[in-house]
Amino acid sequence: MANRHLSRSIVLQTLFEWDFKGGAEDVAPILARDTLEFGPGLDDTPFMETLIGNVISKQKIIDEIIVKAAPEWPIEKIGVVDRNLLRMGLAELLFGDRDQVPPKVAINEAIELAKTFGGENSSRFINGVLGAVYKELGEPGKEQLSKRQKKEAPIDMAKIPVEQKAGAIVYAKDGDTIYLAFVHDVFGYWTISKGGIEAGETAEEGAIREIKEEIGLDITIKEKLGESEYMAFHPKDGRIRKHVTFFLGESSYTPVTLESDKGGLDDARWFTMAEVVDLKMYDDVTGLVAKAIGIITK
């Protein structure tokens, strides 16, 4: 089999030049030149062309996923090397052949390339973002963890900084019909509208403001539904714990409008309770929704 690590390094250098020049040039001659210079005799053109093709053709959705996984870092603020390593890693995770390239291999390859071509914190950033997406996908191929990974020391959660967020499952009544509002993310899931709590706000105040800003609804908090926590990653600061408090909020049945600058989200709408059953949702969201429906219909 061809040296895939070398192939990926050539793809990275090709994408670096293509992206640095604004993405307007034909990438094929850049790849041919880089292959001749850095991998003379390398016979792995189909793999490299497929990987580059997936990165470029799926760039919009890949970049939206990066924004969701690293919301503190707009795409244009991420260094060219790190940006294209993330694109490569996500292209393999989401659109590659998992029989040929298991998800953990794709992540590890991106990390190793980051150590070679990136900055001091690149490998940690790449690992964090791709790891977050891997978990969102349900950790496919988890059983293939290497012995080295199994022996890694546990993370000391107490040392990781916490960012407080709040959100709400919003419901409204229109005659005898009850509706619930959800947002749709770029992973293909319907989920709960949420956002960061600002200085001086309570969790309830943060949830009310975020719902208004994100989907344009004025809500009244009815009850606290629960709390959850997940990891996000900062290129310089590393892991950040995102602690989210969820509420049940009531609104009038008015149009839902998703704000255009909400990275990682592509839709928002009302659903009847019968329709909610068929929605694709994360497991933790499903539990909160079931609790909310139980309260609403009590």
Helices (DSSP H) in the chain: which residue ranges? 4-20, 27-38, 45-57, 59-69, 80-95, 103-117, 122-136, 147-150, 203-215, 273-276, 283-296
In this structure, the answer to whether residues 12 and 60 fall within a common structural domain is: yes
**pLDDT (average), residues 197-225:** 96
Q: What is the pLDDT of residues 134-177, one digit of tens each?
A: 887 766 665 554 444 444 456 566 778 888 999 999 999 999 99
**117: domain range?**
4-150
Residue 2 predicted with pLDDT over 60: no
State how many domains the chain has.
2
Q: Answer yes or no: do 42 and 62 share one domain.
A: yes
Q: Which of 150, 176, 202 represents a domain boundary (last residue)?
A: 150
pLDDT of residue 228 exceeding 70, the answer is: yes
pTM for the model: 0.59
Report the 10 Å Cβ neighbour count for 50. 16
132 and 13 together in one domain: yes
Same domain as 239, residue 131: no
11 and 120 part of one domain: yes
CATH code of 208's domain: 3.90.79.10
Q: What is the mean pLDDT of residues 190-198?
A: 92
281: tokens are 């949702």
Same domain, 143 and 164: no
Q: pLDDT tens-digit profile of 93-129?
A: 988 888 888 888 999 999 999 999 998 889 999 998 9
